[in-house]
Amino acid sequence: MRPTSFAPSVLQQYLRRHKIADLPELKRALGTHTDLTVFRKLKQLDYLASYTHRGRFYTLPAIAHFDDRGLWSHEGVWFSRHGTLLATVEVFVHQSANGYYAHELADVLQAEVQQPLRQLVRRERLARTELQGQFLYTAVEPSPRRQQILARRSAQAVPLVVNSAAVQASPDELKTAILLFYGLLDEQQRRLFAGLESIRLGHGGDTLLGGFLGLDVHTVARGREQLLEQNVLSGRTRRLGGGRTPTEKKSPT
């Protein structure tokens, strides 16, 4: 009696219909109780395994529509053009202009990255440097590592610069230039400038800008709220009635 023959096209059609599937679903679709049979047929299809959910879900390259970062998700399950979570973490850190803190990379990949980061450091495929009480993960090679650390320090020293790695100036020079410009603004303009940059920076921006510009955090928050509410006075620093009460001039008797 000839053994039962399983066609990989059955899995291909099932995945095209459902986009992703786990092993029990694929076994039912193929009509087998053996894991190895499913993997043999998947191998013929050049399948992809998810890097989240412990690699439990599968899809095909033709189904995954990767974004410019090489990531794709379906129903909260994430896949990477680079393969496993370990490989994806390594590629992302190497391609980053200023390295990654663990929490930043976790937000980008929608996955817990502490364990793969530790493995990559232990295998000397990534390096880590402590900056401001946190570990920054960078490339191992000296030159790109130096560039990533310098870019990160510049970004932290001058939070207003969008891409400090592309600016041909040191953090001190950038800070001096920004503070010089800031000193030319009037009271309202300073408040609004700080509020605008706080909006751009997002969570924690009020505190960061307050420390950088020497402003009270409530002043930064007020500038931010003014911009969001479109409550800005044109051509006037204070509202009418603001400031000190003018003294009445008396004519000499």
List the domain boundaries for the chain: 8-80, 84-168, 185-235
Closest to 105 (Cα-Cα) out of 80, 123, 124, 122: 80
Say what the pLDDT of residue 43 is: 93
The fold for domain 84-168 equals Arc Repressor Mutant, subunit A (1.10.10)
Residue 5 and residue 32 in contact, taking contact as beta carbons nearer than 8 Å: no
Of 24-33, 72-81, 167-176, the one with minimum mean pLDDT is 167-176
Distance CA 117, CA 96 (A): 15
Residue 9 and residue 44 in contact, taking contact as beta carbons nearer than 8 Å: no
pLDDT tier, 90 (very low <50, low <70, confident <90, very high otherwise)? very high
Say what the pLDDT of residue 211 is: 81
- The pTM of this model reads 0.65
> Which tens digits make up the pLDDT trace of 176-234?
888 888 888 899 999 999 898 888 877 777 887 888 888 898 999 999 999 999 888 77
Say what the pLDDT of residue 235 is: 59
> Which tens digits make up the pLDDT trace of 31-56?
999 999 999 999 999 999 999 999 99
